[in-house]
Amino acid sequence: MAIVQAREIGFRYTGEWVLKDISFEIEKGEFWGIIGPNASGKTTLLKIIDRILVPQEGSVWINGINIREMKRDALARLVAVVPQEAPLIFPFCVEEIVLMGRAPHLGKLRFEGKKDHEITRRSMEMTDTLSFAHRNIGELSGGERQRVLIARALAQEPHIILLDEPTAFLDIKHQVNFFNLVKTLNREEGLTVISVTHDINLASLYCDRIILLDRGSIHCMGTPSEVIRESNIREVYGTDVIVDRNPQAGLPRVTLVAANPSDRGSRLKAGAAPQLLQFGDTKKERINTTPTDEI
């Protein structure tokens, strides 16, 4: 049985539908990505899975149970969310932030016990945050803060982790470190991961399957090789790209096509974009690239 099922989801805030006829099934331990242009419904879909929003049509099922029938604390024991960033008004230390993940497991008048502190410590060990457990969260770098938010999510002992563009404000080093950590937890702990991201190349490298949304509907879904194709990107994003293979992983890689790129006849200057090809480049200039539509 699938751990997550979306059945003909339809949702609108007011007026036009934001999502329409969304259906998919995710097996336990899979890593799924949700990609698409701005306003295609990615974050809305994530909020529906977490029951922050309730769809006007269709339903979401987790472990064979309609989430509308679940109590909030029961759902929180199954699903954890790692946001882009979490506004933290009070100067909590890292350990206190992570310990908050135990809230769904506590009764109304119950305080954290030995088991809760043990799980909190293990979550920090797994995310390499134990070394700064007593530091103020406001003193940390962006990458460190995101690791703390993963640790808090792990402290919930969830079956599913939802990632809402968690690397949007991180540099490339911390983006890779973040997804390496999540992929390790996915493989070693059996966590099911659903990640919204604007970075198609990261989705290609780390996701088992991908949903490509277009104006609230599923344009296509499948493996990275099935979804990340020049024709799909052109139709959904309205821009030309070149899709070839990552030389290390062998997975699809997207290269932007620019009408007026920087001077390619001289050494790249600061700010020049790597892997940026001019529209109309000749085949000679595309040596060693094979578009995935031709594979």
The pLDDT tens digits of the residues spanning 211-256 come to 999 999 999 999 999 999 999 999 999 999 999 999 999 999 999 9
- Those residues with Cβ within 8 angstroms of residue 236's Cβ, 6 or more apart along the chain or in another chain: 36, 37, 40, 212, 214, 219
Contact predicate 22/217, CB 8 Å: yes
Q: Quick one: tokens of 73?
A: 């604390």
**What does pLDDT average to over the chain?**
87
Q: Quick one: tokens of 51?
A: 């029951």
DSSP H or E run through 236: helix 230-237
Give the confidence band of 275 by pLDDT, cuts at 50, 70, 90. low
Give pTM, 2 decimals: 0.84
CA atoms within 13 A on the CB side of 191: 28
What 3-state class would DSSP assign to 232?
helix
CB-count burial class (<10 Å; 0-12, 13-18, 19+) for 226: middle
pLDDT at 294 over 60: no
The pLDDT tens digits of the residues spanning 136-192 come to 998 998 888 888 999 999 999 999 999 999 888 888 988 898 899 999 999 998 999
Q: Can you give the pLDDT at residue 278?
A: 47
Q: Which of 81-95, 121-135, 165-179 has the lowest mean pLDDT?
A: 81-95
Give the confidence band of 280 by pLDDT, cuts at 50, 70, 90. very low
pLDDT at 33 over 70: yes
Torsion of CA 173, 174, 177, 178, to 10 degrees: -150
DSSP H or E run through 134: none
Percent of the chain scoring above 90 in pLDDT: 68
Q: Can you give the pLDDT at residue 260?
A: 76
